[in-house]
């Protein structure tokens, strides 16, 4: 059903649909803010916030994303510690569309499955 979203992971943390909705809304809001901040940091070629944002994405991105996207973010976060900014920017650019799609899928899941059940 979803390409990037793995809803089974949030079910491990949530007691009921209401809690799943709260977690999903928080995740979506945080993801959108971090993606915008990441784009800005990349535009400024500022390595410190890029590394911090990738660490944040790694932490909660594994919470709802499937294994492939989750692994890509984990690898990017590890790369951010040693890879030159120009090369890192190119690698991040490859994953940004998937992260944006994840955000869209979370929004769809919220609207289609969680809000109607609450």
CATH of the domain at 69: 1.20.120
CB 80 within 8 A of CB 47: yes
Listed in sequence order, the residues at least 6 apart from 78 whose beta carbon sits closer than 8 Å to its beta carbon are none
The per-residue pLDDT for 117 is 55
Q: Examine residue 118 and state whether it is found in any structural domain, yes or no.
A: no
What 3-state DSSP class applies to 14? coil
By residue range, what is the domain housing residue 86?
Answer: 7-113
Give residue 26's pLDDT: 92
Mean pLDDT of 48-66: 91
Does residue 34 belong to any structural domain of this protein?
A: yes
The 10s digit of each residue's pLDDT in 63-108 is 889 999 999 999 999 999 999 999 999 999 999 999 999 999 999 9
pLDDT value at position 5? Answer: 92
Burial 39-49 (b: 16+ CB within 10 A, else e): eebbeeeebee
> What's CA 104's distance to the chain center, in Å?
11
Kindly state the average pLDDT of the residues 12-25.
87
| 1 part of a folded domain | no
Q: Is residue 88 part of a domain?
A: yes
| 49 is a domain residue | yes
Both tokens of 53, joined, read 């944002």
Q: Does residue 2 lie in a domain region?
A: no
Which pLDDT band, with edges at 50, 70 and 90, does 15 fall under?
confident
Tell me the whole-structure pTM to 2 decimals: 0.90
Q: Which residue has the tokens 């809803």?
A: 7
pLDDT at 54: 97
pLDDT tens-digit map of 22-36: 888 999 999 999 999
DSSP-assigned beta bridge partners for residue 65: 5
Round the CA-based radius of gyration of the chain to a whole number and report it.
Answer: 15
Distance of CA 74 to the CA centre of its chain: 11
Q: What is the number of structural domains in the chain?
A: 1
């Amino acid at each position: 059903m979803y390409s990037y979203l793995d809803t089974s992971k949030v079910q491990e943390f949530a007691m009921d649909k209401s809690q799943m909705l709260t977690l999903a809304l928080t995740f979506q809001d945080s993801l959108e803010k971090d993606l915008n901040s990441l784009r800005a940091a990349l535009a400024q070629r500022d390595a410190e916030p890029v590394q911090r944002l990738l660490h944040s994405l790694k932490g909660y991105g594994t919470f709802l994303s499937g294994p492939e996207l989750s692994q890509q973010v984990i690898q990017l976060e590890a790369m951010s510690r040693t890879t030159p900014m120009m090369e890192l920017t190119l690698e991040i650019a490859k994953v940004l569309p998937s992260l944006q799609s994840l955000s869209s899928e979370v929004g769809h899941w919220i609207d289609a499955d969680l809000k109607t059940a609450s």
